[in-house]
């Protein structure tokens, strides 16, 4: 998680565009999603990709991120 947050801070400094950052930490079967806007960040609950319900939730989050990327971040 520390490496992800460090990468976010570097990305903010290099881009300097004010857009939020989105990321994911995957350790083994455990997934956590992270968003960062300014210096504030939010970490999702932990998802276990071996659990069917959690896996469906991971897929839904990734699809939503794709939508955000295509409609808001790439303009």
Per-residue pLDDT band for 25 (boundaries 50, 70, 90) equals: very high
Say how far apart CA 22 and CA 27 lie, in whole Å.
17
Q: Is the pLDDT of residue 75 over 80?
A: no
pTM above 0.85, yes or no: no
Q: What is the mean pLDDT of the chain?
A: 91
Closest CA to 32 of 21, 41, 24, 40: 24
Read off the DSSP letter of residue 45.
P
Question: Percent of the chain, pLDDT > 70?
Answer: 97
Stronger pLDDT, 59 or 71, i.e. the higher one: 59
CA distance 8 to 13: 9
- Locate the domains of the chain by residue range: 2-73
Exposed/middle/buried for residue 16 (C-beta within 10 Å: 0-12, 13-18, 19+): exposed
């Amino acid at each position: 998680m520390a490496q992800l947050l460090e990468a976010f801070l570097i990305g903010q400094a290099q881009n300097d565009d004010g857009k939020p950052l989105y990321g994911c930490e995957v350790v083994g079967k455990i997934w956590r999603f992270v968003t960062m806007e300014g210096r504030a960040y939010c970490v999702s609950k932990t998802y276990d990709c071996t659990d069917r319900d959690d896996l469906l939730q991971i897929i839904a989050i990734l699809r939503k991120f794709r939508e955000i990327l295509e409609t808001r971040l790439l303009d």
